[in-house]
Amino acid sequence: MNFAMSSSPHIRCGDTTRRIMLDVLIALVPTLVAGTIVFGPRCLVVAAVSTAAAVVGEALWRLLTGQYQTIGDLSAAVTGLLLALTLPATVPYWMAAVGAVFAVVVVKGFFGGLGQNIFNPALAARALLVLLFPASVTRFAAPGTSIPLSGTVDVATAATPLHSMVMPALPEASLADMFLGNIGGCIGEVSSLALLIGGAYLVFRQVIKLRIPVSYLGTVAVLSFAFAPLEPLQWMLYSLLSGGVLLGALFMASDYATSPATPGGQVLYGMGCGVLTVVFRSVGLYPEGVTYAILLMNAASWLLEHFTPTRLFGAPQRKGGLR
């Protein structure tokens, strides 16, 4: 009889990459459902197109470069769905598809695939689309608008709460509308409730730890309270419930590949995301900061990790961060 020979350990826990990605997909379902309730069935088609484009794009990329297939790990599907959730329901389908392929091929594949990418693929793709097609991805239909499933989408656009906050003024929408999702915006940013349900599921399943979301949201809360132009408490709550900061904190910033692996690094990273989000929102031209805040902090992950080495057993003081 031939026995397999290899190094220990010989048993592995049941956790797999595929299971983790499946959990992320499950956690995004409430948000997709909420977006569909607010903006209609076109959201589902955008999500389907984006997800399919990401999966097919990855399959073709791996095939053409002679690498084994990875679509089974579901990470491409997660990227596709996440991208769809950062886009408005009115986005042309082909645009979502272009973004999804860019995400999995350029942002992820070029860097060596899953776990090797520096930038969050979905967010980098969104950044690209904002750069190329600002008119299509930064104009939003009002909640409840009937958006046609096919043909040129030409509906009345509405200001999002963040647009008001650039003024600066408190948005017209009530906090309850903000929480439930009865506002204009991207598919996945409108319903804070749905995002929190998904986030709670990820924490319960131990897919994410609370360090990054809590330090991110905490920093946004403290800064928006401290530097509020008016009504600090309301301003803080509106800041937390608008502009995709919850989607970013729970689903984007917590992305494994692009955030630090050390506990201390994760806290600093979350805080950095928070600071940049608040700065970009108050200074920038676009009424959003989350995308660029997280992308910039992605680039700083390695540095943060090196400034926050883990404490070594038996060594009271560990030799410094960067070599």
Partner 1 sequence: MRKQTFWGGVHPAGRKELSSGAPLEPCPPPGEVAIPLLQHIGKPCTPLVKVGDHVDMGQKLGDGEGLCVPVHASVSGTVKAIEPWSHPGGRPCPAVIIENDFQNTYCSAVPPCEDTDALDADGLIQRIREAGLVGMGGATFPTDIKASIGKVETLIANACECEPYITADDALLCTDADRAIRGVRLLRQLLRPARTVIAIEDNKEKAVSILTDKLKNQSDVELVVLPTRYPQGAEKQLIQAITGHQVPSGGLPKDVGCAVFNIATCASVCRAVVDGEPILRRIVTVTGHGIQAPKNLIVPIGTSFAHAIQAAGGLTGEVWKLIAGGPMMGRTQADLTTPVTKGTNAIVALTAADNGEDPHPTCIRCGKCVAVCPMGLQPLYLYRFSRCQDREMLRHYSILDCIECGCCAYTCPGKLPIVAAIREGKPLVKEGKR
What is the binding site for partner 1 (CB under 8 A)?
Answer: 1, 3-17, 19-20, 68, 70, 73, 75, 113-115, 256-257, 259-263, 266, 309-315, 319, 323
Work out whether the CA dihedral 146, 147, 153, 155 comes out positive or negative: positive
Residue 77: name the closest of 134, 32, 137, 132 by CA. Answer: 32
Torsion, Cα of 66, 83, 214, 33 (10° steps): -120
Radius of gyration of the chain (CA): 20
**CB distance 143 to 181 below 8 Å:** yes
How many Å apart are CA 300 and CA 117, to the nearest integer? 13
How many Å apart are CA 171 and CA 135, to the nearest integer? 22
What SS3 state is found at 91? Answer: coil
| Lookup: tokens for 46 | 């955008």
Per DSSP (E only), the strands in the chain are 140-141, 157-158
Q: Which is nearer to partner 1, 40 or 260 (CB)?
A: 260
DSSP string, 181-206: T-S-S-TTTS-HHHHHHHHHHHHHTT
Long-range contacts of residues 307-313, Cβ cutoff 8 Å, at least 24 apart: 307/264, 307/265, 307/268, 308/260, 308/262, 308/263, 308/264, 308/265, 308/268, 309/262, 310/262, 310/263, 310/264
Q: What angle do CA 134, 138, 143 make, to 5 degrees?
A: 155
